[in-house]
Amino acid sequence: MTYFELTPEQLLSEGFASPRITDEPWVVRWDTFRGDLDAIEELVLGALPSTVAFRTSGTTGAGQTWYRTKAFMWSEAGMLARLLAPRQPEAVLSFVHSQHLYGALTSVLVPARLGIPVWYRPQFTGRLPPVGEHRRWAVMAIPWIFSLLRRHLPWVRSVDQLTVLHASGMIPDAALDFLAEAGADRARIVEVFGATESGGVGTRQWSEGDPPDWSLIDDVSFADPVRAGEGEVALKIRSPRLAFLTDGVAPDSCELDDHVERLGDRAFRFTGRRTRLVNVNGRRFNLDRLEDQLAPVLDCVDHALRPVTDPMIGEHIELLVVLEPGTEVADLDLTAAFERIGVRPRRVRAVERIDRTEIGKFRRVQTTETTDAGATS
């Protein structure tokens, strides 16, 4: 894999959605400014349009186009850069598609904010950039990147510090394995909780053990007072960084498609996305969590769980699998898979492809072939 070098001016002029920027590997040397962050800011704000549009993925309904001013974008990038700054990264490796808000920030604007070089790699296969003189790296990640880093442990262990920034849904179990193998003294994960319409909402950092609870980012607050004994609630927040629709007016608050338990005025525990929480025979399941648990035991190209209606019990799930060439559903160890997740899907469906967003979230199914390999619980 060859990383084509672009100047900062070329990167910004292409635009966040340009196929050259999203689909090809490249490197941009923000360090050529030699720490002149004022000059970088002048270049960035001069190159960006007054408003930037990002479309939500449509994973929880019809997609919408949300707008952010370039000042909002630069402010959000500054917030993420401050989360990374204590580890003093000298270079960035990003895997995040810049057509998405998270990618535009982490692949383009955060390295600019830090004034350090960035390598962008869109594929799972291929070589990682040379470590060179850079001893401290930040990796901008989506969930599958933890498996990739585990495949490249010699590269990981060749650096002094590696900080993985993750802001793309539930973090996989592979992240725990990565931290254990890389070593707590070398690797740290910085997570950001948020959405296209809200920007960053919460954050947490960890290097070993189970992830801690989430803390609200400094300029974010809950939209409603926390009530004693309230239990699980929809996450509704206020922030100066909320995106807006075509009227150009940012809303006063934003309610996300996430459920949380609020732990006082500044912290929360995530319990699941509304559309990914399903009750089957009185048991509640988080489908994102179940998909992650299936990964080690399903020998297939891709898989996903989705909620379906059931004439007997109301809610249920089905398992979608993209099979390896020359294999059938019967070749999968479904017994072990279902025992692992503690529920038997209503049915299993072999599909040609699972449509996912740029950051890996399940969106919808393409052409299908149905089988009765699953059974009613």
66 and 92: one domain?
Answer: yes
The verdict on residue 230 lying in a domain is yes
Quick check: 359 and 168 in contact, CB under 8 A? yes
Gyration radius from the chain CA atoms: 21
263 and 337: one domain?
Answer: no
Closest Cα to residue 161, out of 131, 141, 191, 116?
131
108 and 204: one domain?
Answer: yes
The verdict on residue 106 lying in a domain is yes
- C-alpha span between 243 and 223 (Å, rounded): 16
Quick check: 319 and 305 in contact, CB under 8 A? yes
Number of Cβ within 10 Å of residue 331's Cβ equals 12
* Segments of the chain scoring below 70 in pLDDT: 57-63, 312-313, 357-360, 362-377
pTM across the whole model: 0.83
243 and 319: one domain?
Answer: no
Domain count, the chain: 2
CATH of the domain at 214: 3.40.50.12780
Closest Cα to residue 297, out of 347, 332, 342, 345?
332
The verdict on residue 376 lying in a domain is no
- C-alpha span between 81 and 182 (Å, rounded): 23
CA–chain centroid gap for 127, Å, is: 22
The verdict on residue 377 lying in a domain is no
Domain end marker among 272, 299, 319:
272
Closest Cα to residue 76, out of 101, 59, 100?
101
Strand partners of residue 348 = 319
255 and 141: one domain?
Answer: yes
Domain end marker among 208, 240, 272:
272
Please report where in the chains the tokens 């529920």 appear, as a residue: 343
Domain end marker among 220, 241, 272:
272
Quick check: 376 and 325 in contact, CB under 8 A? no
Structure tokens at 24: 């090809």
Residue type, 107: S
13 and 150: one domain?
Answer: yes
82 and 184: one domain?
Answer: yes
Give buried/exposed letters for 142-162 (b at 16+ CB in 10 A, else e): bbebbebbbeeeebbeebebb
250 and 306: one domain?
Answer: no
Please report where in the chains the tokens 């072990």 appear, as a residue: 336
64 and 128: one domain?
Answer: yes
111 and 255: one domain?
Answer: yes
CATH of the domain at 363: 3.30.300.30
| 253 half-sphere exposure, CB direction, 13 A CA radius | 11
The verdict on residue 113 lying in a domain is yes
The verdict on residue 102 lying in a domain is yes
The verdict on residue 375 lying in a domain is no
Q: What's the domain range around 121?
A: 4-272
125 and 30: one domain?
Answer: yes
The verdict on residue 311 lying in a domain is yes
Query: Furthest-apart CA pair in the chain: how many Å?
Result: 66
75 and 135: one domain?
Answer: yes
